[in-house]
Amino acid sequence: GTIYLKDYQQPNYWISETHLRFELADSDTVVRSRLSMQRRDGVAEGAELVLHGVELTLLSLLVNGVDVDQSQYSVDEQTLTIRGLPAQFELECVTQIQPQDNTSLEGLYQSRTMFCTQCEAEGFRKITYYLDRPDVMSVFTTTVVADKAKYPLLLSNGNPVDRGDLADGQHFVTWQDPFKKPAYLFAVVAADLALVEDSFTTMSGREVSLQLFVEPKDLDKCDHAMLSLKNAMRWDETTYGREYDLGIYMIVAVDDFNMGAMENKGLNIFNTSCVLAEQKTTTDAAFQRVEGVVAHEYFHNWSGNRVTCRDWFQLSLKEGFTVYRDAEFSADMNSPTVKRVEEVQLLRSAQFAEDAGPMAHPIRPASFIEISNFYTLTIYEKGAEVVRMIANLLGEDLFRQGTDLYFDRFDGQAVTTDDFVACMAEVSGQDFSQFQHWYDQAGTPQLDVSGEYNAADKTYTLSVSQSCPATPGQADKPVFLIPMATALVGRDGLLPLTLNGVDCGEETVLAVDQQSQQFVFENVTEAPVPSLLRNFSAPVKLRFDYSREQLLMLAARDNDGFCRWDAMQQLAVQIINEQAVAWRQGEAISVDSSLLTAIRALLGDAEANDKAMVAMMMSLPSLAYLIELSQQADIEALQAAREKVRLAIAVELQSLLLDCYHSNVSTDEYRPDATQIAQRSLKNACLSYLSLLPDQSAIELLQQQYQQADNMTDTMAALSAMVNSDGPNAASAKQDMLDDFYHRWQQEALVVNQWLQVQAGCGLAGGLDRVKALMQHPAFDIKNPNKVRSVVAVFCAQNAINFHHSDGSGYQFLAEQVIRLNELNPQIAARIITPLTKWRRFAPAQADNMQAALKQIMAAPNLSSDVYEVVSKSLT
C-alpha cells in the first residue's frame, strides 16, 4: 500500500540497546537478538509493539526472560505484533534465515565466498524482527560466529571488543558501536579477504586505522581508494570542521551489490566497481568515480549517520546534502568546471526526464509504495542542486555557520529537511518560505527569457517568466524562487552591471521570484549578449532565443565555463535538429559552418585552454539529451543527423584533429590527475572523430592506440571507436580486437563488464541480437547486478536507436528481463524499467508498443512492490 508523509507518527516503543548474535552457516543461519525497549512517553499502557520482519522463521520469543504466550503475539508476512507489554522490558528473539538463497541482495546475503549485508533502506527486517525505521536509534553490540577456516574475517560496526575460538572449528568476534544508529546503518561481513591498511591522524590528533578489505587478486587496485579516503577525511575537516569519530574505518569490496556503496557506521560496503582502481584495468572516469563514491560514503558519517533521517521521506536530507559535499570535494580535487558540466549533463539527460515522467516526485516526496524506488536522480542529484542553491544564497561563511549549527543541534538525532532549512534561515536571517517549494514540488521549472537593448537610454532589459509543468498529483505549480546568475558579455568581455542604481560588479544573481518580471540594467554602453544561469545556478530549463552569432560569441568570450560549453551545446542542438528535419524529408543539406568554425577555433587554441573543456565543448550533445529536448523524439532522424554532423566535423577538420591527437599522445608515466585526464580526454575526443573517416588509416590509428596503450582509458577509447565503426574493413578488425580484449582480461570482472558495456551500447544495426548473444556468454550472470547493468541496462537506457527499434523487439526484451528479475532481485528489476516509463514522449506507434510491454509486466505473477509501483504509476 501507499505510505504518506502526513501520516508520520513516532513509534510506540524505543530500543535503547541492541545485542545481536549471528551464527552463520551454509544454511539455516541463526540470528539471536536481545533488545532493551521502552514505551515512548505519552503512549497508552498496553500499546501494541509492531515489529518489522520479512522472510524470517521465528524460533523463539521471550519478554524479560519468559516465553511469550501464543495468545500474546501474532505474526504475518511483514510484522510481529506483541501485546500486553510493560513500560520497559527486554525482548529476546531467535530467528532463522537463509542468506545462501537471498538473491535480492538486501538483508544478509552471500556474494561469491563471503557473507555481507545491505540494510538501507529496509533490509534489516530480513535479518531479525525489529523497529526497522530510521527514527529508532540504538546502540549495537554484535557477535558474529562462523567457521574459522572459511571466514577468518568477522566484521561489524564500531570496535572489536572480544574474540575467540569455539568448538567445531568455529570462532567469534564481538563488535561494539558506541554511537546510536538506526538499523539501516548496521552491517556484518564474514569473509576471507586480504587487508590493505593505512592510517589517518585527525585534526585533534587521534589516530584512525584505515582498512580496505579486498580479494587477494585485487590488492594492487587499492591505492586510489585509500588516497581518496585520506583526502576526503582531511577535506571534511577543513571545509566543514567535521572529524572522524571511531578508531577504525573499514571498507569491504563486494562483487554483488545493488547500488554503488553503503555508509554503514565504521564499516562501509562497496560495490567493487566503486572502490577498485588501477591504471591498466580502470578508466579515468572510473578513477574519478571511485574518488567521488569513497568521499560520498565517508561524508555520510556526519551527513547521514551522526545526523540521520527521521523517516524515508527525508532521504534527500542525507543524500542531496552528501552529494553536494562530494561534488564540491571532487571539484576541489580536479577541474571544477569539468565537474560542473558533467553534473549538468546528468541532470539534463536523465534527471529532467525522470522529473517529467510518471515517477516524478519532489526531493521530499509526499508518498511512496516502495522506498527502494526513491533512490533516484531526483533525490540525489536534484537534491544536491537544491543544497547548492542554499549554499550560494548564503555565501560560504553563512553556509558554514548553518551547517555547524545543523550538525551541532541535531547530533545523534533523526531529523527532517525542514530542520536543515531552518538552520540556514536562522543563521542568515533569510526567509526560505518561497524557496521551500523546491522541496515539495516535482517537475523542472522553466525560465523563458528575452532581452532588449535600448541604445538611447543605455538600458538592457531582461524579461523573465517562469513556469513548471504539471506532475502526478500536482497540477498547479506555485512560483519558485530561482537564483539566476547573470552577466552581460560585450565585445571586450564582461560589462559592469548596474541595477536600480546599485553597482553589482560583473556578475549578479537575479532572484527570479515572480511568474514574470523584468530586470533593467543601466549604463549599458553596447548591445550585450546575456550570459544566463551561470555555473548552472539553478536546476531549471532556460530558453533564450540566441542567434548563432551570439552563441559563437559566448563560446569564445564568456568567462563562465558552463556557459561557454552550453553555448556550444545549443549551437550543436540547433544544427543537429535542422539536419534531422532534412533527413526525415529525404533532403541533404550541408552542415552549417558555424559549428565547424567554433570547433576549429577551439582546436587551434587547445594548448591555451583547459583541454578537458575543449574535449567537452567539441563533443556533440548525447542522443539521450537530444531525445529529452524533443516533444516526440524522432530517434532515427536524430541519430542519423548527429552522425552526419560528426562525420562532417571529422572530414572538414581532419588535419587539425590529427595534429591535436598527436600532440596529446603522452609518454609520461600514467597518473589519474586532472592534467593527464584532460589531455587523454582531448586526444580521445579527436580519435573518436578520426575513427569516422572512411579509410584504412582510421582503423590503423585505432589498432595502434589499442596496442600501445598502457592504460584502460586509451584502450577503451580505441575499442569503443572500433566497435562503433562500420566501414567496409571494420568487421574483422573489430572482432579481432574484441577477442583479444576478452582473452587478455577475462579474469578481471570489472574489465569484462566494460567489454560487455561497449558492445551492449553499440548503436549499429542488430543491437538486440548482439545483446542476446552477450547474455549467453559465460561472462554474463543474471544474478550479478553489475552484469545486468552492463548488458541489459546499457542496451535499454543508453542505446536508444536499437532499444527503440520500430518493431518493438527492444521493449519486449526488456519486459522479459524485468519479469525474470522480479523473482530474483526486485530492486534491480524495478530500476531497469525506466526507459519504458517514458512512453508518453514517443509517437503513438512506439508508445503503444511500450505500453504493451508495461502491461505484460503488470500481468506477471508475484509482482514485487518495487516493480508494481513503477509499472502501475507508468500506466495511469
308 binds ligand ARG (CB under 6 A): no
Residue with cell 541463526: 30
Residues sharing a CB contact under 8 Å with residue 555, sequence separation 6 or more, in sequence order:
564, 567, 568, 571, 598, 617
User: Rounded to 5 degrees, what angle do the CA atoms 204, 207, 210 make?
Assistant: 130
Q: Identify any residues that bridge with 303 across adjacent strands, giving them in sequence order.
A: 307
Q: Would the CA dihedral through 228, 230, 235, 240 be positive or negative?
A: positive
Question: 502 phi and psi, to 5 degrees?
Answer: -100, 130
Per-residue interface string for the shown chain with Zn ion, residues 296-335, x marking contact by CB under 5 A: -----------------------x--x-------------
228 binds ligand ARG (CB under 6 A): no
CB of 645 to Zn ion, least distance (A): 38
The CA distance from 141 to 19, in Å, is 5
**By C-beta, is 118 or 314 nearer to ligand ARG?**
118
**By C-beta, is 372 or 849 nearer to ligand ARG?**
372
Residue with cell 501494541: 48
Question: 81 phi and psi, to 5 degrees?
Answer: -110, 130
What region, left, alpha or beta, does residue 189 occupy, with left being phi > 0 and alpha being psi -120 to 50 degrees?
A: beta
442 binds, among ligand ARG, Zn ion, none (CB under 5 to 8 A by kind): none
Catalytic machinery residues: 297
121 binds, among ligand ARG, Zn ion, none (CB under 5 to 8 A by kind): ligand ARG
CB of 263 to ligand ARG, least distance (A): 5
Cell of 168: 567445531
Residue with cell 563488535: 175
259 binds ligand ARG (CB under 6 A): yes
CB of 554 to ligand ARG, least distance (A): 36
* Count of residues interacting with Zn ion (CB under 5 A): 2
- Enumerate residues 283-302 that contact ligand ARG by CB under 6 A: 296-297
Residue with cell 579477504: 193
129 binds, among Zn ion, ligand ARG, none (CB under 5 to 8 A by kind): none
C-alpha distance across the termini of the chain, in Å: 16
The CA distance from 721 to 761, in Å, is 12
375 binds, among ligand ARG, Zn ion, none (CB under 5 to 8 A by kind): ligand ARG
**By C-beta, is 258 or 724 nearer to ligand ARG?**
258
Could you tell me which stretch among 257-265, 457-465, 776-784, 834-842 binds ligand ARG (CB under 6 A)? Answer: 257-265
Q: Using CB under 6 A, which of 135, 215, 278, 319 touches ligand ARG?
A: 319
Q: Using CB under 6 A, which of 132, 215, 263, 311 touches ligand ARG?
A: 263
CB of 448 to ligand ARG, least distance (A): 35
**By C-beta, is 23 or 319 nearer to Zn ion?**
319
120 binds, among ligand ARG, Zn ion, none (CB under 5 to 8 A by kind): ligand ARG
DSSP 61: E
The CA distance from 672 to 288, in Å, is 8
- Taking CA atoms, 752 is separated from 5, 144, 793, in Å, by 43, 34, 16
Could you tell me which stretch among 66-74, 254-262, 351-359, 691-699 binds ligand ARG (CB under 6 A)? Answer: 254-262
825 binds ligand ARG (CB under 6 A): no
- Enumerate residues 352-391 that contact ligand ARG by CB under 6 A: 372, 375
CB 151 within 8 A of CB 115: yes
262 binds ligand ARG (CB under 6 A): yes
Question: 696 phi and psi, to 5 degrees?
Answer: -60, -30
CB 635 within 8 A of CB 623: yes
CB of 235 to Zn ion, least distance (A): 17
Cell of 486: 547573470
The CA distance from 383 to 390, in Å, is 11
Per-residue interface string for the shown chain with ligand ARG, residues 140-179, x marking contact by CB under 6 A: ----------------------------------------
The CA distance from 153 to 424, in Å, is 44
Could you tell me which stretch among 258-266, 608-616, 627-635, 812-820 binds ligand ARG (CB under 6 A)? Answer: 258-266
- Report the SS3 class of residue 790: helix
**By C-beta, is 322 or 537 nearer to Zn ion?**
322
CB 309 within 8 A of CB 351: no
Per-residue interface string for the shown chain with ligand ARG, residues 582-611, x marking contact by CB under 6 A: ------------------------------
**By C-beta, is 260 or 469 nearer to ligand ARG?**
260
**By C-beta, is 262 or 796 nearer to ligand ARG?**
262
Q: Using CB under 6 A, which of 308, 351, 827, 837 touches ligand ARG?
A: 827
**By C-beta, is 303 or 471 nearer to ligand ARG?**
303
**By C-beta, is 261 or 677 nearer to ligand ARG?**
261
CB of 353 to Zn ion, least distance (A): 22
**By C-beta, is 326 or 628 nearer to ligand ARG?**
326
CB of 801 to Zn ion, least distance (A): 33
* Count of residues interacting with ligand ARG (CB under 6 A): 14
- Taking CA atoms, 597 is separated from 549, 576, 651, in Å, by 11, 15, 13
Residue with cell 548591445: 527
CB of 127 to ligand ARG, least distance (A): 14
**By C-beta, is 361 or 680 nearer to ligand ARG?**
361
**By C-beta, is 319 or 643 nearer to ligand ARG?**
319
Q: Using CB under 6 A, which of 93, 261, 489, 617 touches ligand ARG?
A: 261
DSSP 792: I
Residues of the chain by 3-state class (helix, strand, coil), percent to 5: 45, 20, 30
Cell of 354: 525522470
494 binds, among Zn ion, ligand ARG, none (CB under 5 to 8 A by kind): none
The CA distance from 546 to 274, in Å, is 41
The C-alpha R_g of the chain, in whole angstroms, comes to 28
The CA distance from 400 to 732, in Å, is 59
CB of 757 to ligand ARG, least distance (A): 22
What region, left, alpha or beta, does residue 414 occupy, with left being phi > 0 and alpha being psi -120 to 50 degrees?
A: beta
261 binds, among ligand ARG, Zn ion, none (CB under 5 to 8 A by kind): ligand ARG
CB of 623 to ligand ARG, least distance (A): 28
CB of 298 to Zn ion, least distance (A): 11
Q: Using CB under 6 A, which of 35, 61, 97, 121 touches ligand ARG?
A: 121
The CA distance from 348 to 564, in Å, is 16
CB of 859 to ligand ARG, least distance (A): 27
CB 807 within 8 A of CB 852: no
Q: Would the CA dihedral through 267, 272, 274, 278 be positive or negative?
A: positive
Could you tell me which stretch among 241-249, 255-263, 443-451, 546-554 binds ligand ARG (CB under 6 A)? Answer: 255-263
**By C-beta, is 103 or 176 nearer to ligand ARG?**
103
143 binds, among ligand ARG, Zn ion, none (CB under 5 to 8 A by kind): none
CA neighbor of 760 nearest in space, from 805, 718, 790, 722: 790
Measure the CA dihedral 857/792/320/253, to 10°.
120
The CA distance from 822 to 815, in Å, is 10
Maximum CA extent, the chain = 95
343 binds, among ligand ARG, Zn ion, none (CB under 5 to 8 A by kind): none
Which runs of consecutive H residues, i.e. helices, occur in 245-360? Answer: 284-299, 315-333, 336-346, 352-355
CB of 413 to ligand ARG, least distance (A): 18
Interface residues toward ligand ARG, by CB under 6 A: 118, 120-121, 258-259, 261-263, 296-297, 319, 372, 375, 827
Interface residues toward Zn ion, by CB under 5 A: 319, 322
